[in-house]
Amino acid sequence: MLTPVRRRANQKAFSLVEVLVTMVLITLMCASVFPGLQLITTSAMNTAIRGEAHRLMQDEAERLISVGYASFTTSDEQTITSSIKTTFGPDKSSQFQYPSNQAGRVTFKRRVVAVADTSTTRTLRVEVEWTWRGKKTVISMPIFRSV
């Protein structure tokens, strides 16, 4: 009768209860970290989208500044679908085929608006607008030109 007790005391393996408690603790730690990781991911995506909008605005402003005064005019709204993919869920299309729809990508609307026009100066504003996560955002940059 003493042999089984002695064998149990010398045993070096973990019991099932110890393994289950460890798994529960690891699961709770992972569950508590997940919201923070989501916040970091959302913040990084927001920064990338804002950077893309600034790049689009800067490109249009540089184009307007580089052309002559005659073509320094307002423009219709341009819709630009960016290369930034905002969702990474499972895709319904084949894995070897690029999806034809642009779902999950940010669409920017860029336009040039006349702000002020006098006999000696002209001021335009380049605007870039986008909607992400239900929030509509607009950034703009004024461009001043004298005759």
pLDDT for the residue 147 = 67
Query: Which residue is listed with tokens 């909607």?
Result: 131
What pTM, to 2 d.p., does this model score?
0.67
CA distance 69 to 57: 19
Instruction: For residue 8, tell me if it sits in a domain.
Output: no
Single-letter amino acid code for the residue at 117: D
Domain count, the chain: 1
Q: How do the pLDDT tens digits run along the chain, 147 residues long?
A: 455 555 555 667 889 999 999 999 999 998 898 888 888 988 888 999 999 999 999 988 888 888 765 566 778 888 888 777 777 655 555 444 444 445 677 889 999 888 888 888 888 889 999 988 888 999 999 888 776
Instruction: For residue 90, tell me if it sits in a domain.
Output: yes
- Is residue 144 classed as helix, strand or coil in its secondary structure? strand
Residue 129, Cα to own-chain centre: how many angstroms?
A: 14
- Is residue 36 classed as helix, strand or coil in its secondary structure? helix
Instruction: For residue 2, tell me if it sits in a domain.
Output: no
Instruction: For residue 3, tell me if it sits in a domain.
Output: no
Q: Which domain holds residue 119?
A: 16-146
Q: Are 137 and 129 in contact (CB under 8 A)?
A: yes
